[in-house]
């Protein structure tokens, strides 16, 4: 357990492609509970759920967890993380913040720890995140699968230079899939949410490009995990199969 790190899981009921997604049942358990459990298992610091619905808050608190209600009109999950953190930790005890997306029920707790490792062991970066190799033509050409340009690799640690939905090669002629888990230094999170949406962000519909354009430095930890987010109702069965394995 790290007394400087906190994990915050943003959760929003209304989603364009999958309404009430956090409450979708996977093996009889709401998806948000699966994600919360993976975060607890990572054992790197306290876990809070940043939600906008009392239904989600009640589920988490009934399990002994902590859930903070935030404004449902906040524009992004990152804004929700920052708002909940400000409420939970106004004294700024926590130096590192892991933003764990609420639609990753199959994430390996080790990958959450990798996000923290990339943040703490690359002292010159502002934000850490994860990537894994792209192995198929289907992944390569899928616009819903975000790609990342990776450089300065030293074993499994490197730097992310750009994010895009189009196939783009990194060094050594490799393609990498970006996994949307983020570790922020506290001051970097505060800077990020104070920025307006950037032109590249709006062009690619990728929030992380706001940080790239603002000069924030992204560290990467490579993983072999084949992680996917639950974006549609059809993805629930894939999550069930992955958890059962």
178-197 pLDDT per residue, tens: 998 999 999 999 999 999 99
149 has a pLDDT exceeding 80: yes
Confidence of residue 13 (pLDDT cuts 50, 70, 90): confident
In a domain, 150, yes or no: yes
pLDDT confidence of residue 141: 93
Confidence of residue 16 (pLDDT cuts 50, 70, 90): low
Task: Answer whether 65's CB lies under 8 Å from 47's CB.
Answer: yes
Q: What are the pLDDT digits (tens) for 205-217?
A: 999 999 999 999 9
Q: Could you count the other beta carbons within 10 Å of the beta carbon of residue 212? A: 19
Q: Which of 151, 154, 112, 105 is nearest to 129 (CA)?
A: 112
Percent above pLDDT 70 for the chain: 98
On whether both 55 and 165 belong to a single domain, the answer is no
Q: What are the pLDDT digits (tens) for 161-175?
A: 999 999 999 987 899
Residues 111, 100, 157: CA angle, nearest 5 degrees: 40
On whether both 11 and 74 belong to a single domain, the answer is yes
Q: How would you class 10 by CB atoms within 10 Å of its CB: exposed for 0-12, middle for 13-18, buried for 19 or more?
A: buried
Q: Which of 80, 93, 98 is nearest to 179 (CA)?
A: 98
HSE-CB at 159 with a 13 A cutoff on CA atoms is 12
Mean residue pLDDT across the chain: 91
Structural Rg of the chain based on CA atoms: 17
Percent above pLDDT 90 for the chain: 72
pLDDT confidence of residue 29: 93
On whether both 114 and 215 belong to a single domain, the answer is yes
DSSP class of 16: S
On whether both 114 and 218 belong to a single domain, the answer is yes
CATH number of the structural domain spanning residue 210: 3.90.550.10
On whether both 78 and 12 belong to a single domain, the answer is yes
On whether both 113 and 223 belong to a single domain, the answer is yes
pLDDT confidence of residue 145: 87
pLDDT confidence of residue 116: 93
The predicted model scores a pTM of 0.93
Backbone torsion region of residue 43, taken as left when φ is above 0, otherwise alpha when ψ lies between -120 and 50, otherwise beta: left
Q: Could you count the other beta carbons within 10 Å of the beta carbon of residue 46? A: 18
Q: Which residues span the domain enclosing 161?
A: 107-179+186-227
On whether both 74 and 12 belong to a single domain, the answer is yes
- Hey, which residues does 26 pair with through a beta bridge? 29
Instruction: Determine the number of helices (DSSP H) and then strands (DSSP E) in the chain.
Output: 9, 11
Q: What are the pLDDT digits (tens) for 73-86?
A: 998 999 999 999 99
Q: How would you class 166 by CB atoms within 10 Å of its CB: exposed for 0-12, middle for 13-18, buried for 19 or more?
A: exposed
On whether both 141 and 81 belong to a single domain, the answer is no
């Amino acid at each position: 357990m790290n007394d400087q790190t906190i994990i915050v899981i943003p959760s929003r009921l209304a989603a364009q492609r999958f309404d009430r997604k956090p409450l979708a049942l996977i093996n009889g358990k709401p998806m948000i509970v699966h994600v919360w459990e993976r975060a607890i298992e990572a054992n790197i610091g306290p876990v809070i759920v940043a939600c906008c619905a009392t239904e989600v808050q009640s589920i988490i608190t009934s399990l002994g967890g902590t859930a903070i209600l935030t404004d449902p009109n906040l524009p992004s999950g990152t804004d929700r993380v920052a708002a909940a953190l400000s409420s939970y930790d106004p004294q700024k005890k926590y130096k590192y913040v892991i933003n764990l997306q609420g639609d990753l029920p199959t994430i390996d707790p080790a990958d959450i720890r990798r996000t923290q490792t990339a943040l703490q062991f690359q002292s010159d970066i502002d934000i850490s995140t994860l990537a894994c190799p792209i192995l198929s033509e289907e992944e390569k050409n899928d616009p819903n699968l975000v790609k990342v340009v990776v450089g300065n690799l030293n074993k499994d640690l490197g730097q992310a230079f750009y994010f895009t939905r189009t196939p783009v090669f990194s060094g050594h002629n490799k393609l990498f899939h970006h996994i949307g888990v983020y570790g922020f230094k506290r001051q970097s999170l505060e800077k990020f949410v104070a920025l307006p949406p950037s032109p590249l962000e709006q062009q690619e519909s990728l929030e992380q490009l706001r940080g790239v354009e603002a000069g924030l430095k992204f560290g990467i930890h490579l993983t072999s995990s084949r992680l996917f987010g639950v974006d549609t109702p059809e993805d629930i069965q894939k999550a069930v199969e992955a958890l059962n394995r």
